[in-house]
Structure 1
Amino acid sequence: MNELYFTEEHEFFRKSFRDFLHKEVVPHIEKWEKTGHIERFIWKKMGEMGYFGISYPEKYGGLDLDIFYLVIYLEELQKIRSGGFAAAMWVHPYLAMSHLNAEGSEEIKQKYLTASITGDMIGCLCITEPFAGSDVGGMRTTAVKEGDHYIINGSKTFITNGVYSDYLVVSAKTHPELGSRGISLFVVDRDTPGVSATKLDKLGWRASDTGEIAFDNVKVPAKNLLGAEKKGFGYLMQHLALERIVMAINAHARSEWALEYTIQYMKERTAFGKSIDKFQALRHRVAQMASEVEMCKSFNYSTAYQVGKKKYVVKEASMAKLVSTRVADEVAYDCLQLLGGYGYVEEYPLARNLRDSRLGPIGGGTSEILREIIAKIVIDGKKYKPAT
């Protein structure tokens, strides 16, 4: 199957990125998990190596590589035992930077996108609010035009990179009377007066900084508008397919790693005079998990291929995330069970894996919302079209 999507060049990239992670990142993971602060030096190193520019134009310092370099990037990040670090490293280039590249003016791209690719600037995407999570159209944050500026008021929550980032891509209603059709997007500098952030204490993803952000009469230049007024909802929806396939790939990669670790443990752990990988009940549980993970991976690769061909894959990306994150949760739970008491001990990595995995069915669209989107497509015949 891999030969369908991966070349020798892809595999060389995988090895070099894996080596980089084990040399430059792994030695610091435990510290970052404890502090919830990924130090700036690693962002700069990631940028210097070109990892933030994988999918971006050479004009801005990117590498403009195909979608399966992104797949490798995501898979390898899941194998170093920190969902929080992985999240920070994909939210920056594939949530915040995606909007800069797609909707930003040339001036915005030169200022923010180029510095984001080099790792000199870190970004976050601000959509979710305390009273508007899956209901994006219910957001209350406003942006009122006053001369050559907008004044933003409101709040956002559960924002990855929300505390230590340098800029924020913010969704706000410029025309509240229009509901979801009145949403616009802006890029806001962190040090703008009126922007404040509070770090949230989370179950998992502990290495990443997740913040609740307040905007109190934040004055933003009109030139910081991304795209056109009132087009923000369409822009957000258009990029959600990418976010969902990213999270689906994260899920299957995390599951693969957990299974590999568990199988190795089972080969070494003995009970009643033989290694526990010889017990039929345990073997069959592993066989079931491996089958489901492989099926998820195959579908995710197929969907990623379509994303790479610029197809608008709302249905497929929603299905990929829905199923892959559910399977990942089950694999995390069952693999921990197969380690017995050691699975519950922090010295072993599966306890963290269980916590980190739990966000999968919540972030980027809850499983409940995804089921309704899929139902609208397959039952009601709804057609989702890209923003124009």
Structure 2
Amino acid sequence: MSDFQEYFDPNHQLIRDAVRRFVEREILPFVDEWEEAEGFPRELYLKAGAAGILGMGYPEALGGSHEGDVFAKVAASEELMRCGSAGLVAGLGSLDIGLPPVVKWGQPALRERVAPQVLSGEKIMALAITEPGGGSDVANLQTRAVREGDCYRVSGSKTFITSGIRADFYTVAVRTGEPGFAGISLLLIEKGTPGFSVGRQLKKMGWWASDTAELFFEDCRVPMANLIGAENMGFACIMGNFQNERLALALMANMTSQLALEQSLSWARQREAFGKPIGKFQVLKHRLAEMATQLEVSREFTYRQAAKMAAGQSVIKEISMAKNFATDTADRITYDAVQILGGSGYMRDSLVERLYRDNRILSIGGGTREVMNEIIAKQMGL
């Protein structure tokens, strides 16, 4: 793995070291057990909060650190992925898709009540946009919020919500106005609100360690003070939030590729066939060289977009490209890793088996591959 020194400074290396030690101490000894149990202890949020991991990139006044330092967040995110469980990373990091709208657009009282509890790990945050009949068609969401006095009455449902079972706070997309993107708002809805219920934990192909749930709202009364941003301006907030989510997913895909490549190289060096290590056979040497090349290109392109984001530039087209390229690369590298390890790569106790399963969601979540191509084409004037 190249050091990419033009993007990371010595402080970022200190962050890497600290997060890597946290992973080695608090996650790696237990991660296989948590995967099989399809969940990890809530206490891990508190530990990650105390270590400053959850607060990375958020304002100090709210309990965060390194606000505006995109590559501090990148370094921490990449090291968390070294635990080998993307589901755990997604569950632990669900605040990073649920909390930013509250921090950016929430009223001060709401922001100051919610954010410190989430960044400390005391409370858990989720984002609730996807609906059973909607998928990637965010502009068409049906969950309705009708204003009544000083409250909204919310009715509808959500699905595929990461941390949906155990979250305390949910940033929920609702329809407050006309059909289409112009009638969408964001509300903060708290667990325990009358009329709000959480459904069953959903069983998934991968990301076993993250809890994923359905949410139901039946005449759920939410205070108007919990409105995030202006009424009917939620779509713009969602789209802005998606850029950071797509960067995070590209980084996750690249680290999935990195771990799969490392496992493949280790196996190629030690596994022998026909009297020599299999890595000495030209067909595997070339495959590994191609895997490394694809990853190097993907990582460099992703980092370039992160650098542009850090400089305040708009990268709507490019971050969509980065997500697609990174997930395509991870598709290929995890496939090849299983093939290189052969039968061992198909076993549940193999890391590449988990990487192969976990990887599949990355080109779906945060906007599907097809939606990314639509965004890219639109930005090209098509």
Contact map agreement 1:322 1:367 (CA 8 A) in 2? yes
CA deviations 1:286-314 (Å, max 9, x no partner) are 11111011000001111011112222210
1:72 and 2:75 are equivalent in the alignment: yes
User: Does structure 1 conserve the Cα–Cα contact (< 8 Å) formed by 2:162 and 2:211?
Assistant: yes
Q: Does the residue aligned with 1:213 lie in a helix, a strand or coil?
A: strand
Once residues 64 and 345 of structure 1 are traced to their aligned partners in structure 2, the CA distance between those partners, rounded to angstroms, is 40
Unaligned runs of 5+ residues in structure 2 are none
Q: Quote the Cα distance in structure 2 between the aligned partners of 1:106 and 1:64.
A: 20
Q: Deviations over 1:227-264 (max 9, x none)?
A: 11000001101111111111001111110111011101
Any conservation in 2 of the 1:162–1:213 contact (CA below 8 Å)? Answer: yes
Q: What is aligned with 1:190?
A: 191
Shift of residue 77, structure 1, vs aligned partner: 1.8
Alignment of 1:105-116 (within 5 A): 105-116=107-118
Query: What stretches of structure 1 move > 4 A for 4+ residues in a row?
Result: none
Which residue of structure 1 aligns with residue 182 of structure 2?
A: 181
Give the corresponding residue for 1:39. Answer: 41
- Residue 3 of structure 1 aligns to a residue in which SS? coil
* 1:264 partnered with 2:266: yes
Q: Is the 8 A contact 1:131 1:138 kept in 2?
A: no
Deviation (angstroms), 1:91: 2.1
- Per the TM alignment, residue 170 of structure 1 is displaced from its structure 2 partner at its CA by 0.3
- Give the Å deviation of 1:8: 1.4
> Whole-Å Cα distance in 2 between the matches of residues 107 and 38 of structure 1?
31
Q: CA deviation at 1:34?
A: 2.0
- Whether the aligned pair in 1 keeps the contact of 2:34 and 2:209 (CA below 8 Å) is yes
1:309-348 correspondence to structure 2 within 5 Å: 309-348=311-350
- Please give the residue correspondences for 1:15-34 in structure 2 after superposition, counting only pairs within 5 Å: 15-34=17-36
What is the DSSP-based 3-state SS (H/G/I as helix, E as strand, rest coil) of the residue aligned with 1:310? Answer: coil
Q: Which range moves more in the overlay, 46-55 or 31-40?
A: 31-40
Q: Which runs of 5+ in 1 are unaligned?
A: 381-388
Inter-partner Cα distance in structure 2 for 1:158 and 1:146: 29
List per-residue Cα deviations over 1:89-121 (Å, max 9, x = no partner).
Answer: 2222x2011111111111111111011111111
> What aligned pairs does 1:237-248 form with structure 2 within 5 A after superposition?
237-248=239-250
Distance 2:77 2:221 in 1: 36
CA deviation digits over 1:94-149, x for unaligned, max 9? 20111111111111111110111111111000000011111101111000000000
SS in 1 for 2:165: coil
The answer to whether structure 1 residue 231 and structure 2 residue 233 are counterparts is yes
Aligned residues: percent identity? 39
Q: 1:376 aligns with which of 367, 375, 378?
A: 378
The CA deviation at 1:69 is 1.1
Q: Distance in 1 between matches of 2:179 and 2:140?
A: 11
- 1:379, CA displacement in angstroms? 4.3
Q: 2:140 touches 2:179 (CA, 8 Å); kept in 1?
A: no
The number of equivalent residue pairs is 378
Q: Separation in 2 of the partners of 1:210 and 1:310?
A: 33
Deviations 1:133-175 (A, max 9, x none): 1110111100000000001100001110111111100000011
The one-letter code of the counterpart of 2:219 is N
Pairwise CA RMSD = 1.0
TM-score, normalized by length of structure 1?
Answer: 0.96
Partner of residue 386, structure 1: none
Are 1:241 and 1:312, in contact at CA under 8 Å, matched by a contact in 2?
A: no
Q: Aligned partners of 1:8, 1:353: CA distance in 2, in Å?
A: 30
Question: 1:78 offset after TM fit, Å?
Answer: 1.7
Task: Give the 5 Å matches for 1:118-267.
Answer: 118-175=120-177, 177-197=178-198, 198-267=200-269
The TM-score normalised by the length of structure 2 is 0.97
Distance 2:280 2:306 in 1: 37
Query: Residue 187 of structure 1 aligns to which amino acid in structure 2?
Result: L
The whole-number CA distance in structure 2 between the counterparts of 1:309 and 1:51 is 23
